[in-house]
Amino acid sequence: MAQLKKSKGEITREKLTFVAAALFHEKGYHAVGLNEICAVGDLPKGSLYYHFPKGKEQIAIAVIDAAKHQVAADLRAATSSATSLEEFIDLLLARFAQNLEQSEFNKGCPITTINLEMAGTSDAIRAACADAFENWIGLCTGVFRDAGIADKKAHELAELIYASVEGAMILARAQRDVSPILRAAPYLKTLVA
């Protein structure tokens, strides 16, 4: 049975992760200072190092992990509400497009910026990102396999579609226009048909 009450420490820790996640999502890793995280979360600097003694990198990894579970939950929601692969793809694209627009094109993939900034510097962060990507692509692979596509192809398609969405979001952020995401839909659907 789930724990009913969170200790004060857990609350602080979650708040830190939550605030850091939002800031990293919008601005990336290096543009966010620990001061800023504490200020937004209204927490003293000392608390941060109590909960994350290894510092900023550890926070980032916690954030990446949290994002992994969040997006996974979204994917499962899309899976259960979609009645066809086409609809699944539409839901997927629509969700990312919506997130972008609602945040005025500031929130794309929650971990891509961190990944690109830190992949060459911190192997722990890189690995955490790889784990998240793998998890998400794995979930999509499951969807396609459940629809009768062979294992290998299902994985390749999931990977390609996920990559396309990632890339389209990058274009969309640069152009401040979600069209690149939406224009990809019909072509991606033909691939899974």
What residues line the site for a second copy (CB under 8 A)?
A: 26-31, 104-106, 108, 112-113, 115-117, 119-121, 126, 129-130, 133-134, 137, 156-157, 159-160, 162-168, 170-171, 173-176, 180, 183-184, 187-188, 190-191
Neighbours of 180 (CB within 10 A): 19
Amino acid identity at 114: I
Structure tokens at 145: 């396999």
7 binds DNA (CB under 7 A): yes
Q: Which of 9, 70, 73, 76 binds DNA (CB under 7 A)?
A: 9
Q: Does 32 bind DNA (CB under 7 A)?
A: yes
Query: In 52-150, which residue ranges form alpha helices assigned H by DSSP?
Result: 56-81, 85-102, 112-118, 123-146
Residue in 20, 24, 56, 64 binding DNA, rule: CB under 7 A: 56
> Other C-beta atoms within 10 Å of 1: how many?
3
Window contacting DNA (CB under 7 A); options: 11-19, 79-87, 106-114, 117-125: 11-19
What is the C-alpha to C-alpha distance for residues 166 and 111, in angstroms, rounded to an integer? 11
Q: Does 68 bind DNA (CB under 7 A)?
A: no
- Regarding 26 and contact with DNA (CB under 7 A), the answer is no
C-alpha to C-alpha distance for 178 and 73, rounded to whole angstroms: 23
